[in-house]
């Protein structure tokens, strides 16, 4: 009888010993392995959590403790510096897909290694507020308006969507924008119809942005409405750079193949003057691309276009047509503006999310200062239907 009891306990003992051993090994590894506090995660492109205590003053530690922030910081620090963290992130990501939870992390794995945003229902009320703000600003300042809503890749590259997925509403959003804006006699390209079938080359597989080919096709379409002749693709020298985008960083699907981010250059793009900000806070560059962001070890290579996202950017082209174009944009505008800048003597570019500095002039002041008569809005569907502080258009 005693022998059978011992046999019955053996599996439990093995389980307990294995569990305790695993915890002990992880604890030792966590204690001895080097930490990367405050550094950027190469795979996720975000800053890893700083140590919750080291490097902080006693008063700060006490204050964090009283507010309850210390325990949160400890949890975040442990998560960010857990041994073999990237392995476990990938293990969890692929496990979720294999068990039918494809969109659990906000990213959907499609066919041919393509990643998509998970479908969400758009806020049509907020969309109307944004459209009203844009139309009011254009009317008050006598501007000819083109509103470009860039659909998600899921609404365009439908052949790569998984067989089971929620409905995407980009077509509904674009149709609504077209209807509202056309009432004012303005032009709006329907990019879903423009891109048509087999549009995989117009969007990245690992990122939410359009490629330069996708941006160029849109540029060529709106150039006709602006009354300008689009420059030819053959005018540019194209270089490709290995690129992992925002979908890749969010999904944790580390086995996904990289994209190739293209940079289109010519003598004109290299000679253009780029001024970021205004007044004493302004910074000047020569050339439209930030080569520092194209380093092999840099993750966010999309930031090379027009020196990333800034509240106010002014691009000057001595070979332009003598006119100034106002572009209100989110990050989708960063890759199409270099094309538009080929035609205009000046492009004044405003980022809808970064125009927060009180020292920046009101957009209407910029219109008067530069004698602007044309305005192009370039926003992704997510921006068009979210609170993008369009109220700053005053």
User: β-pairing, 312-316 with 273-276?
Assistant: antiparallel
Could you give the CA distance from residue 317 to residue 107 in angstroms, rounded to a whole number?
39
Q: What residues contact 13, with CB distance under 8 A and at least 6 apart?
A: none
pLDDT in tens, 302-327: 999 999 999 999 999 999 999 999 99
SS (H, E, C) 187-198: ECCCHHHHHCCC
Q: Are 283 and 363 in contact (CB under 8 A)?
A: no
How much of the chain is in helix, strand and coil states, percent to nearest 5?
A: 45, 15, 40
Q: Name residues whose C-beta falls within 8 Å of residue 196's C-beta, 6 or more positions apart in sequence.
A: none
pLDDT of residue 211: 97
SS3 for 365?
helix
Q: Are 306 and 327 in contact, with CB atoms under 8 Å apart?
A: no
| Distance from C-alpha of 101 to C-alpha of 293, rounded to nearest angstrom | 34
Q: Which residues of the chain have pLDDT under 50?
A: 1, 5, 29-30, 32-33
pLDDT number for residue 72 = 63
pTM, two decimals, is: 0.82
State residue 35's pLDDT score.
Answer: 52
């Amino acid at each position: 009888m005693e022998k059978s009891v011992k046999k019955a306990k053996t599996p439990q003992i093995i389980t307990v010993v294995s569990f305790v051993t695993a915890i002990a090994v992880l604890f030792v590894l966590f204690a001895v392995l080097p930490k990367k506090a405050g550094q950027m995660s190469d795979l996720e492109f975000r800053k890893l959590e700083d140590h919750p205590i080291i490097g902080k003053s006693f008063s700060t530690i006490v204050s964090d403790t009283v507010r309850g922030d210390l325990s949160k910081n400890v949890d975040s620090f442990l998560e960010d510096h857990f041994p073999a963290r990237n392995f476990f992130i990938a293990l969890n990501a692929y496990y979720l897909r294999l068990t039918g939870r494809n969109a659990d992390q906000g990213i959907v794995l499609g066919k041919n290694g393509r990643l998509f945003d998970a479908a969400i229902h758009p806020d049509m009320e907020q969309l109307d507020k944004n459209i009203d703000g844009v139309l009011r600003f254009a009317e008050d300042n006598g501007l000819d308006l083109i509103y470009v809503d860039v659909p998600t890749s899921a609404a365009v590259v439908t052949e790569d969507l998984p067989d089971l997925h929620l409905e995407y509403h980009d077509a509904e959003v674009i149709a609504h924008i077209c209807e509202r804006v056309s009432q004012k006699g303005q032009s709006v390209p329907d990019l879903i119809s423009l891109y048509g079938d087999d549009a995989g080359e117009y969007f990245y597989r690992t990122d939410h942005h359009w490629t330069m080919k996708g941006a160029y096709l849109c540029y060529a379409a709106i150039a006709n409405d602006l009354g300008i002749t689009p420059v030819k693709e053959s005018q540019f020298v194209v270089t490709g750079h290995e690129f992992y985008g925002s979908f890749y960083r969010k999904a944790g699907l580390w086995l996904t193949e990289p994209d190739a981010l293209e940079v289109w250059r010519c003598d004109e793009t290299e000679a253009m003057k780029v001024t970021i900000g205004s007044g004493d806070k302004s910074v000047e560059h020569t050339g439209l691309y930030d080569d520092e962001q194209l380093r092999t070890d840099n993750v966010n290579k999309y930031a090379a276009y027009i020196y990333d996202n800034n509240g106010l950017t002014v691009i000057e082209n001595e070979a332009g047509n003598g006119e100034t174009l106002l572009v209100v944009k989110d990050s989708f505008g960063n890759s199409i503006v270099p094309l538009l800048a080929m035609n205009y003597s000046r492009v004044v570019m405003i980022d809808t999310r970064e125009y927060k500095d009180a020292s920046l002039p009101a957009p209407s002041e910029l219109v008067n200062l530069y004698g602007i008569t044309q305005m192009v809005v370039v926003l992704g569907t997510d921006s068009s239907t979210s609170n993008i502080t369009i109220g700053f258009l005053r």
